Amino acid sequence: MKYLNILEARLGRKATREEIEAFTVMWSEHCGYSHTKGYIRQLPKVGTGGNAGVVPLDDYHFLAFKVESHNHPSAIEPFNGAATGVGGIIRDVLAMGARPTAILDSLHMDKLIDGIIEGISDYGNSIGVPTVGGELRISDFYKHNPLVNVMAVGVGKNEHLIPSKATKPGQVIVIFGGATGRDGIHGASFASEDLTGEKATKLSIQVGDPFAEKLLIEAFLEMVEKGLVEGAQDLGAGGVLSATSELVARSGLGAVVHLERVPLREPDMLPIEILISESQERMAVVTSPEKAEEVLKIAKKHLLFGAVVAEVTDTGRYVVKYHDQIIMDVPAKLLEDSPEEPIHDYTPSPFRKFRWIRFKDVDAHNVFERYDYMVGTDTILPPGFGPAVMRVKGSIGYSLAIHSRADIGVQDPYWGAYITVLEAIRKTLSVGAKPVAITDGINYADPDIEPLGLAAQMKGLKDACEQFNVPVASGNASLYNTYKRKGIPPTLVVGMVGKVENLNIPKPTKGPVYAVGYPDFSIERERKLQEEIVRLVKNGHFVLSMHDYSRITTFKTALAKLGLNLRIQIPRTEPVHQLIIVLGEPKTNLPARKIGFCY
């Protein structure tokens, strides 16, 4: 009701039913970021904004990457919820003009949910994008609220970088891909409420078609290669409404949208249903009228539907028509300008001793072996050994890591976020990569009940990124992860990309194994530890950086697949420590002790 009053005050009149439906979507937390926009503005940022974060890789290529959550859909319908999470984040990367090259997942659940694993596997394998890494956290914290965070990365040529906006009046917007149905209606607003809320039904869940996505990828990249794409947006949360309004609002422009032109698979849909449906495998392309025909030819060649759905105007108005009937006429900027909730200053407590809250020790091979991590033949370091390392043929490489510390976050949200960033940096350094930037997945319970926990989490993220010079390129916020008002722990997921100049990275070999570093934590020692990791890797040592060395089953299995065995005395550490495991005889000024052998 509060947001309705704000809407009607800004409109200067009563809102129509269709406007209420539209603004419910656009001003939902999932689309509008009401509770987090203020915090996000404070983060150290880098790169080109838009559908995904963009950072330079070398003189010719850029990396596009982002993490996205599909928590609520995966709780209600695990297979399609997880599958369409993969599809959506792939299109975010694609929309920047990059070919998707890798997927990672961060899964938090109380037990292995086969539907979620199969959804990710089925979609990723079918579209030919390797799933190269991730994390699996099994805990009762997530009994009713599994967290499914998916990170996608793509590589593009600098001349093919696509803006996420229209640029001038007279352009047109083509929507192409799959036909539009009723699936996913109000999916965005459903993602912003308690799982027992009225929208928590399978009707809110999108249904994926990975083979259509594969055709979409190839069609879009052909359009980019031919210089036909002047702006792009994927159709995810909010569907036609979100994609078309955001494309023009970002430039202070307007649009006239013709809903009767949208290709449908259910012919009796109401205009508002066409506008806000979240049917998958669709993209919006901004182009000139003279290029639109070629865009539609390419879509048709790839067996996809397509139509010129909107014209870009200089009015600043977002006008939606169905035949000759005007469904909605509002300022385009208003759709994007969701109300902001107040943010809170937070002063962290000094670092303290934390207690161990251990996740179940599982062999992640049971999960990632269902994924194809070698498709494309660019995976240098496979899952199980730390961050993935990928190559760009004829160029350099890049590393990918995804990490979280909810076990610390539940005790102190600030330090949980802070330590997550530091450990992601260590992991990245351990494969010979230089950290470039992160994408953050903010997973939280109810900010209306516990606003300071969110403030603490965001402050921890900000402080760690600033102090260790790793900026934020993109991100996602998933709030209201609650069931019957009981929420998840503050769970910040950090996806980190690094630059790998030398692809001849150290691999595990036979020999002694050492624990190097400290079993506890001191901020003053952190830079020295990071510098030591860099030096050890340059000297040819394989370095393993983990937060809990008592949960090492996955690493042992990975070694066994290389014909190696590990026999070590597990080092005892605090829950937050500065200890790494080094294979070989390290020459180091840090404390080191021999703990066993790799043979």
Question: Known catalytic residues?
Answer: 30, 70
Say which residue the tokens 């009713």 belong to. Answer: 144
Backbone φ, ψ for residue 321 (5° rounding): -120, 150
Distance separating alpha carbons of residues 90 and 126, to the nearest angstrom: 13
Strands (E) across 37-113 are located at 53-56, 61-69, 99-109
Report the distance separating Cα 273 and Cα 91, nearest Å. 22
Helix segments in 318-450, DSSP class H: 332-336, 365-368, 406-409, 413-429
Angle at the Cα of 45 from the Cα atoms of 145 and 451, rounded to 5 degrees = 40
Helix (H) or strand (E) holding 294: helix 289-301
Q: Are 306 and 238 in contact (CB under 8 A)?
A: no
- Maximum alpha-carbon separation in the chain: 79
How far apart CA 86 and CA 24 sit, in angstroms, is: 25
**Distance (Å) of CA 524 to CA 154, 412, 419, 429:** 36, 20, 14, 18
Q: Minimal CA–CA distance to 451: which of 480, 474, 472?
A: 480
The tokens for 294 are 């070629």
- Sheet of 542-544, strand order: 542-544, 578-583, 511-518, 592-598, 566-568
Q: Rounded CA gap, 217 and 126, in Å? A: 12
Helix (H) or strand (E) holding 313: strand 305-313
Structure tokens at 134: 């991730």
544 neighbors 581 (Cβ within 8 angstroms): yes
Neighbours of 76 (CB within 10 A): 17
**Are residues 337 and 32 in contact, defined by beta-carbon separation less than 8 angstroms?**
no
Q: Which two tokens stand for residue 435?
A: 């950290």
Cβ neighbours of residue 204 closer than 8 Å, sequence gap 6 or more = 72, 73, 76, 184, 185, 186, 187, 190
DSSP strand pairing (317-322 vs 254-258)? parallel
CB burial string 497-535: b at 16+ within 10 A, e below: bbbbeeeebbebeeebbbbbbbeebeeeebeebbebbee
